[in-house]
Structure 1
Amino acid sequence: MVSQKAVIQAFERLYHAYHDKRFTKSLNFTKKTEQDLLPLVRNYLLGYFDYLEPEVATRVTMGKSSRIDFMIDNVAVEFAVRAANRVGNNLKADKNKNEVKKLITYSDHSLLILFDFRKNVSHLEVMNTLIEYRNIPSLGRGNHHRYPFTVVYFFRNEEGELCGIPRRIRVPKRPIALREYINLTEQQEKTAKFISRRGIVACEYELGKPKQVYCVEVRIESDKLTIEYQDNSGKYYQFKGNSITGSDRYELVSSDNSNDKAIVSVFIDEDEKITIEGTLYEDGEEKGWLIEDE
């Protein structure tokens, strides 16, 4: 069986080749559209893997069928490209709703591969695009089975380096508040009062746009929540506090400045992944705060 990692590595190799003058010679693949590249990618994958089937029919809902770009053994792959000379951003989540619908209805491994051929793409822009894929499109009425998928964004950063960032998009049946999670686990005689996570990705927003992305450490003990991190400048922060009585929210205060605070809600999905959402009040500024377990 082909692994999802092997498929990602194949597309990474192809993305790098499209930027290698020794390979491209007089051809400029970075100005090609998705329609231009699909036949070339099909030939490349056919030589790379033992089993490849393009344009595989799939049923998205009871009354709607579609086709998946590539089926590589047991891995379903959808492919999207943003050419270097195109203004519109067709890599955004709202432009790929149909692709996402196909992937979340496939029960095995599924990938959405994004090729961005522009130069000087910022890490913040990429993270913002990936976060938007958390908003899973509706499949309409009915009790649909939905499954997680992975988005991999390949881009050329501001230093000219070729990068690829994967993000696992979970499709939880019902995210629950932390308090409800603890109550459930207590009923099941589990010791779930202490939770500790490191390396969780946090993003600060202002006016709906990401301003900083960094990793945090989260500790939850009974009704106490602690969040520690270093920002992009290397400055250390610690916010801690207790849950607000009668609610599922927490009020946190900075250990360095009591005027810096945060009001957040904590959720845990069926895979026990943590999501923290709320508002950060720092240096007199109000910012959105999203912390999400990968």
Structure 2
Amino acid sequence: MKRLEGRLRFEMLAINCALIVALMHSGTASRCVDLACSPPMGNLASGRTLTTLSGCCGNGSHHSPCPTPLHTCPDHLHPPVHMVDDPFLHPDTWWASGMGTDQEEEVRLDLETRFCLTHVVLLFHSPRPAAMAMERSQDFGRTWETLKLFAQNCSLAFGLPDDTSQPGSLCTSRYSSAKPCSRGEVIFRTLGPGGLVDPYSPEGLSQLTLTNLRLRLLKAQTCPLSVAPSTTSSSMGLSKPPADLNLPLLPSTSPQPSSEAPASAPFSIYTLLARGTCLCHGHAEHCLTHRGGQDTLKDMGAWQVCVHSPHSRRTL
């Protein structure tokens, strides 16, 4: 085993050295000349296993706490992996919770090292939760910090003001309506509208970095019996994020939302996009997966190795 680990380390070092040499002798100009530099953004959830509470019955979830005794569930037609498959190739696949209507659910993304997270976008198959918490850990799940709370009534659900009336509040009602019945979005930005002057400063790193992401789906809701036609982007089945997110459209070929809720689990999600990149402290133009391939915008899976740019002037 030690001999194998040593060989893998040597191979990684060789790959890094070869790529650095190629960059130094490349005819194309580096985008890191005299600048701080980071690898391209991607979906941190892509290529990784998402774990869920209802999955403790045998769909690949292993984190605590699992219910005791474990759930007995039928063949899982809508496993968690459907949240991170390519939404362009598989627009009509989704994850469905195995929990009951009055039970809480949890979706968790575990990373192998620290990454930078900029945005989270959820596209729900079911009506969006009436109450939900988004949390992160920076110490591999030992402690958790709330990033944002979502509720129809922030005061009733969490005892907090709504950020629609009190900007800066930890809770928002913006993404908790039962309408549309399907393909409703939840969007979270790690940084506020003002952003940060230096994302690599201690303040910036404390806001951006994480090792784990957890979504606690606290209260389900059903679709209203009567829904007036809507011309919003979500109700038209085309997910159009705000322009400042600079995110790709999430495609849709499903029927437009109707007045009847889909016959499905209390919580179900088409797509989980956790947009971020490797934590390279402004020194790297690329990062490599453990398989040796360069980063891509579609797949940030597996642990990453930063490939430092000889042109970057970033100093710690």
Q: TM-score interval w.r.t. the shorter chain?
A: under 0.3
Greater helix share, 1 or 2?
Answer: 1
TM-score scaled by structure 2? Answer: 0.23
Greater strand share, 1 or 2?
Answer: 1
Kindly indicate whether structure 1 or structure 2 has the higher relative contact order, using CA contacts under 8 Å at least 6 residues apart. 2
TM-score scaled by structure 1? Answer: 0.24
